[in-house]
Chain A
């Protein structure tokens, strides 16, 4: 006979599976766009990605609440507490992957010179597939308790970061842009990276503020449009 605690943990993991599958579906949808090398996004794919993003946001809040309730009601210990706390850590970060997929979609749409994008699409696709594969393996490592996949993902991250930056710079060097344009492009890329990181600092601050509201009022206001 399963206990109420075990039932609660099962429900968390079932919701987590749905959540993870949604994010993996998003990654598959975005792969179609990146592999096409085109800046024109098929409307159906865009609609699906945006609809899934709403579901992902909702599931993040739902799973968080389930986890907190389980801890309060059943005081899980040992492997039970480790499982659900790891689940908690993953859903927070996985939701951000969802955000980044939407951001990439919108950024691609805004590219003014499609030929530039088309010229880089092989490199971008290569980087994208590696990152997507890492997400996939990391999630498998959690759901199947596969330590090897987890270690592979962690070790791969450093290798991929290094490789991807080199690949992009190589692609720029080999392109038929003028030297001046290459330098201009590289400079703007670096500047963009700076801006992105600054923006991420603000995002983190928003997360901390949302956590503070939860601490004060017990209300989870993540993804709400109207917070007043």
Chain B
């Protein structure tokens, strides 16, 4: 693997990670990587290379499926994620998916603090109000929805729904935000707004994002990972990887020879 940088005080450290969906067949193989704090890191690669599998390992989503086996270590802000309750890990590593998925029966307000309710965490109204406003302001949605907080989340446009989902993840002050192709279901303007938002959010959060859109990775990420057949082939600063990739496979992927 061409790891051309050393990250000091990473927010996330993955060591020798393997993930298999069936015995002997690995979707992620021997991946080790450190993710820089307060940065946007893009995970790129052709379909089936293990990008989403890697991402879901970080918040222990694979445990929801009995057949998926994981081995290796994942350290989040100095703590082993396997030494914490899974539910705590999923608060600290908030996930946003490709298709916006606000809870359809809940209002905008309720969607933002849904995680607290579902985890049995009771909050006073003032605390709930503060979290909702802060999270919606962080995703630049507050001014658009402050007068309709009690309308259903599904009332919003696709781009607004996705921002609502990000707000839902931010409500817990996560240590890292995981995004799995967050804009592929959105129109170009909504995509642009999400991209601008994510770049802004890195001031306070760390973003780890799967994308199949190389231009998007080039536009908005500080660091890029290229995966192929389950392995991490190359990892480095985006501008270096896009101008002078070290590995021939990265070069061929970026120049469209495959993928």
Contact = CB atoms under 8 A, between A and B. Distances in A.
Interface SS of chain A: helix, strand, loop or mixed? helix
Nearest to B218: A77
Given A5-B256, A6-B256, A78 B218 contact: no
B220 to A, nearest CB: 14
B251 interface: yes
B256 A79 contact: no
B215 A78 contact: no
Contacts of B46: none
Contacts, number: 26
A125 interface: no
Interface in B240-259: 242-245, 250-251, 254-256
Interface in B103-129: none
A76 B256 CA distance: 9
Nearest to A76: B255
Q: What's the interface size class on B, roughly? A: 10 to 19
Contacts of B250: 78
B214 interface: yes
A76 B251 CA distance: 11
A70 B215 CA distance: 15
Contacts of A5: 256
A3 interface: yes
Contacts of B254: 77-78
B48 to A, nearest CB: 21
A77 B215 CA distance: 10
A40 interface: no
Interface in A1-46: 3, 5-6
Interface in A53-83: 75-82
Nearest to A9: B255
A3 B251 contact: no
Contacts of A75: 215, 218
A198 to B, nearest CB: 37
B256 A81 contact: no
A79 B255 contact: yes
Contacts of A81: 243
A80 B244 CA distance: 10
Contact of A79 (B214, B215, B218, B251): B251
Contacts of A3: 256
26 contacts: A3-B256, A5-B256, A6-B256, A75-B215, A75-B218, A76-B255, A77-B214, A77-B218, A77-B242, A77-B243, A77-B254, A77-B255, A78-B242, A78-B243, A78-B244, A78-B245, A78-B250, A78-B251, A78-B254, A78-B255, A79-B251, A79-B255, A80-B255, A81-B243, A82-B243, A82-B244
Interface of B: 214-215, 218, 242-245, 250-251, 254-256
Interface of A: 3, 5-6, 75-82
